[in-house]
Amino acid sequence: MPQLAQMFFKTAVIFLIVGIAMGLQMAISGNHNVIGPHAHANLLGWVTMALFGTYYAFNPAKSETRFAVAQFWIYTGGVVVMVPSLYLLYLGYPQAEPLTALSSLVILAGVLMFAVVLFSKERVATVLPGGAAPA
């Protein structure tokens, strides 16, 4: 599996743990005021990153570009900043709003970069089940 795919999967699992921890905190306290950050950690962190990792695992040639690696760092940086800033915003700290807004734009940039990778004409190396390459 390409290193970039592994990086996405490992980061996704960290966000899954964070999302579950937020969910447990809400369930135990009975206070569901941070449902938004919980959803963002799970969807932008766990689900989206796992999907990015899956794409790069099936397209290893595309995962080896500097642009793809930059896409990982930009997207991940945005999510790493957004989840805690959104958490603080939902807890009633309006000072976190500019950071939440900025990180949203960074995440958008990361998604747009992924779209460039996805739609690029670069040859895609297909991997068949069992690791065999097509003839």
Q: Kindly report, residue by residue over 25-75, the tens digit of the pLDDT.
A: 999 999 999 999 999 999 999 999 999 999 999 999 999 999 999 999 999
Q: What is the pLDDT of residues 94-117, one digit of tens each?
A: 999 999 999 999 999 999 999 999
- Domain membership of residue 131 (yes or no) is no
Cβ 19 vs Cβ 41: under 8 Å: yes
Q: How many domains does the chain have?
A: 1
Q: What pLDDT is attached to residue 91? A: 94
Count other C-beta atoms under 10 Å from residue 101's C-beta: 12
Domain containing 72: what range?
Answer: 3-120
- Domain membership of residue 128 (yes or no) is no
- Domain membership of residue 79 (yes or no) is yes
